[in-house]
Amino acid sequence: MTSENYRDITALLDIMRRLRDPETGCPWDVKQDFSTIAPYTIEEAYEVADAIERNDLEHLREELGDLLLQVVFHAQMADEKGIFDFADVVEAISEKLVRRHPGVFTDAEIATAEEQLANWDRIKAEERKQKGETSILDGVPSGMAELQRSVKLQKRAGDVGFEWTSAEPVLDKFEEEIEEMREAMHSGDRAHIKDEMGDLLFVAANLARQMDIDPASALRHANAKFERRFRAMEHRAGGPDSLAALNLEQMETLWQEIKRLPAEQAARGYEDD
């Protein structure tokens, strides 16, 4: 096999088959199954999202390849069991895309993105009924990241009108949940505290959804901002040990100094300071 062949998807499929060969393949690849590979699939999806968040398009190309490998890996394992193969995966998604875009592939007139989204949701609901699902919440994967699953559950409920019509009442509900959290904290009941914390996070996800903000993306941004500022604090203090030697009041003073600086300057580690 030469590098000239590597742009062909069949080359990737052949590589995966050889890696999984019980006699001549890679021992690690041969040992894997669906359950052991699933965490890597999720991880690669997050790495794709991270590259997009950082607008690192060169890195995005690499991460999309890693994600494609996950699809090929699962398809190869399924093929070995006689369940389906990669071609079946391609066929299934192609059929689904054509079926869910009648405005493109039939004479149906769908003029706007909003109309297409509504039509997509309607077709998905019909597909769920055909699968024998009896609740509008059926089919929401239990393995999803819980923040994303909250949004998915809320959207499904919203499809039948069970949701607030704007962000303002959700914000009121958020403030109500904060008060309930205070009461739970004062009670000292760990089970009650956990329950109220869940309610608080659930409403926060709903608030983000009402404002058309992906809560996972917002949280990634907050994590990145915290990491950038904390690293800058370490640098300003003279290193992690020096930072740890400060008391909380001193750390807070340093934190506020960092917050007042432009993000780019904090990220450079105060090279210009």
Would you say residue 271 has pLDDT above 70?
A: no
Answer CATH for 3-98 from 3.40.50.300, 3.30.300.10, 3.40.30.10, 1.10.287.1080: 1.10.287.1080
pLDDT digits (tens, 9 = 90+) for 210-252: 999 999 889 988 998 999 999 999 999 999 999 999 999 999 9
Residue type, 7: R
pLDDT digits (tens, 9 = 90+) for 132-159: 888 889 888 887 889 989 999 999 899 8
Report, as an integer, the average pLDDT of 244-264. 90
Report, as an integer, the average pLDDT of 39-63. 92
Phi, psi (rounded to 5 degrees) for 138: -60, 145
pLDDT digits (tens, 9 = 90+) for 8-31: 999 999 999 999 999 999 999 999
Give the distance, in angstroms, between the CA of residue 110 and the centroid of all CA atoms in the same chain.
Answer: 29
Numbered ranges of CATH 1.10.287.1080 in the chain: 3-98, 146-213
- The pTM (predicted TM-score) of the whole model is 0.68
Classify domain 146-213 by CATH architecture: Orthogonal Bundle (1.10)
